[in-house]
Structure 1
Amino acid sequence: MEALIVGAERAFAERGFHGASIGYICQCAGRTTGAFYSNYDSKLKLFLDVFRRHSDRTADYIDERIAQVDTERDLAPQLARIFADIFNSAHLDARWVFIHLEFRLMALRDREAAVALVEHEQWFSRRIGTMLDALFERCGHRPALPGTELAGLLGAMTRGVKLDRAIYAMGGVEDPLSSDQVAGALEGLFRSVV
């Protein structure tokens, strides 16, 4: 199944959800169509697994970084750096931008995709929010926003910044937001919340 997910990630990034046929996905995965049908009953379910896999990697990365926060120091710059590094890193590369945008466009046109995306984003915000709430509790902070709401806001910001950066790169134009500017803006956000 892992090979199908890896192959599907490549196929969806290259051709989009509708353009990536099951045959092409299997070709990218080095598997037969029988392997697809023995694991999935729809292309959307495979697409969701691709999406979840990437989200799991991102959440695991955030969890590792939050575990390293020094609770004796000011939280705002530390949290700002963690999330700025996500905005700035190759961890969320061009494939992520294509796949994420593809999912959002599908959700605007297809109720089943919309329900799946909303459920996924709520799950992801709760996962990151739980990490943030635990950190704030360890530090004795009562944030102005619950962790889940803060995570939802950070998710929306990440999507916007990554999409703009991909467009600027495609257009051969330097990104107007430097890594330091992003970190500074995030630090201001965390200061206002914490």
Structure 2
Amino acid sequence: MEALIVGAERAFAERGFHGASIGYICQCAGRTTGAFYSNYDSKLKLFLDVFRRHSDRTADYIDERIAEMDTGRDLAPQLAGTFAEIFNGEHLDARWVFIHLEFRLMALRDCDAASALVEHEKRFSRRIGTMLDALFDRAGHQPALRGTEMAALLGAMTRGIKLDRGIYAVGGVDDPLSTDQVAMALEGLFRSVA
């Protein structure tokens, strides 16, 4: 099943959801179509697994970083640094700009995809929100926003920044926001809510 997910990630990034046939996904995965049908009853379910796998890796990274944070120090720059790395790092490379955008466009046109995306994002925001709430509890802070609200806001910011950066890169234009500027803005956000 792991090979199918890896192959599907490549196929979806290259050809999009509708352009990546099950045959092409299996070719990218080095598996037969029988392997697909023995694990999945729809391409959407495989797409969701690809999406979940990536989100889980990102959430695991955030969890590790939050666990290392020193609650005796100012949390705002520590959190800003972690999330700025996500905005700029390998967690959301150019391939993921396409996959995220593809899913969002599908969701605007397809009720099943919309329901699946909403459930996925709620799950992800709850997971990140729980981490943030626990961190603020350990530090003795009562933030103005709940963790899930902060997570939803950070998710929207991440998607927007990565989409813009992808467009600038294709257009050969320098990104108007440096990593340091993004970190500074995030530090202000975390300081204001905490």
After TM superposition, the score normalised by the length of structure 2 is 0.99
* Counterpart residue number, 2:53: 53
Aligned match of 1:133: 133
1:6-155 matched pairs, under 5 angstroms:
6-155=6-155
The one-letter code sitting in structure 1 at the alignment partner of 2:163 is L
Deviation at 1:154, TM superposition (A): 0.3
- State the match for 1:191 in structure 2: 191
In structure 2, distance between residues paired with 1:93 and 1:33: 28
| Cα offset, 1:90, TM superposition | 1.9
Quick one: distance in 1 between partners of 2:169 and 2:92? 14
The residue type paired with residue 70 of structure 2 is: D
2:72 & 2:90 partners in 1: Cα distance? 30
Report the equivalent of 1:171.
171
Cα deviation, 1:57-99, whole Å, max 9, x if unaligned, reads 0000000010111111001111000100100112210111111
Q: What amino acid does structure 1 have at the position aligned with 2:132?
A: L
Q: Letter of the aligned partner of 2:45 in structure 1?
A: K
Tell me the alpha carbon deviations over residues 127-175 of structure 1, each in whole angstroms, 9 at most, x when there is no partner. Answer: 0000000000000000000000000000000000000001100111110
- The letter for the 2-side match of 1:183 is A
Q: CA RMSD in A?
A: 0.5
Distance 2:62 2:167 in 1: 25
Measured against aligned partners, the alpha-carbon deviations of 1:10-61 in whole angstroms (never above 9, x if no partner) come to 0000000000000000000000000000000000000000000000000000
The one-letter amino acid of 1:124's match is F
TM-score by length of 1: 0.99
- What letter matches 1:6 in structure 2? V
C-alpha separation between the residues in 2 aligned to 1:91 and 1:110?
Answer: 27
1:159 is aligned to 2:166: no
Q: How many residues align?
A: 194
> Identity percentage over the alignment?
87
Unaligned runs of 5+ in 1: none
